[in-house]
Structure 1
C-alpha cells in the first residue's frame, strides 16, 4: 500500500501494470535512480525478462525513498 497525491489517498497496488502507471503518472520523486530502476524492473517484469519479485523489490525501494510506502 502506498500514499499518493496531495491528500495522501491510499492505493493498494496488486499488479505490475498498476505500479508502472503510478511510476509514470503520480510519482513524487520521479527521475531518481531508484525510481528509474523500479520503472525499468517493472517494465522488464511485464515482458517476462525478470521475475515479478525483482520488480516488486525495486518498487518498494523507490516507494520508501519517496516516502509513500505504508508499512
Structure 2
C-alpha cells in the first residue's frame, strides 16, 4: 500500500527530508499518518457515497437555505 509520506522514496530521489522532521520531533506524527488503513471500512463507506455535480450541490444548498432563511445563510 502506498504511504502518504514515503521517506525512503524521497531519499532515493535525492530529497532526504526525514532528518529535518526527526530533529523537530515530528516522526511520531508520520507514524500515525502512515498507520493502518481499514480498507474494508473505506470500501463500505465509498459504496454508500453519492457523487454529485457542483450544480446539484448548489441547488441543494439553495433549497436548504430557502427552508429557513433566518437561520440558514
Normalising by the smaller structure, the TM-score range is under 0.3
TM-score by length of 1: 0.26
Q: Which has the higher strand share?
A: 1
Task: Find the structure with the greater CA-based Rg.
Answer: 2
Q: Which has the higher contact order (CA 8 A, sep 6+)?
A: 1
